[in-house]
Amino acid sequence: MAVVEGVLLLGFSIPIWAERVDQVPSESDSTVVRVVAQQFAWNVWYPGADGEFGAADVSLVDEATNPMALTATIRPAPTTSGR
């Protein structure tokens, strides 16, 4: 009985699954992102408003301040006085 179930599973499910995953949308119909994998973390990088990714430099990777290696200058927010 297990052999019949295995044949049915492999004979029907794998071709149906293969047909389903073969239907990948075109790049113009999807959102393209860059994903950087790290141990226990996934960093997802979305393109800007123009649809382009900014420059990145692997030598700039710093886990605390710049995990995506972006070359943009990050300025701290202005502080407000309590007066």
- The amino acid that residue 63 corresponds to is E
Number of H helices, E strands in the chain: 2, 2
Instruction: Say if 7 falls within a structural domain.
Output: no
* Boundaries of domain holding 65: 33-75
Give the global pTM: 0.44
3-class secondary structure, 31: coil
Instruction: Say if 18 falls within a structural domain.
Output: no
Q: How many domains does the chain have?
A: 1
Instruction: Say if 10 falls within a structural domain.
Output: no
Instruction: Say if 56 falls within a structural domain.
Output: yes
pLDDT of residue 24: 76
Instruction: Say if 41 falls within a structural domain.
Output: yes
Q: Tell me the chain's radius of gyration from C-alpha atoms.
A: 23
Instruction: Say if 58 falls within a structural domain.
Output: yes
Please check whether residue 56 is in contact with residue 68, taking contact to mean a CB–CB distance below 8 angstroms. Answer: yes
Q: Per residue of the chain (83 residues), give pLDDT as tens.
A: 778 888 888 888 888 888 887 777 787 888 888 887 877 888 888 888 888 887 776 666 666 766 666 666 656 666 666 55
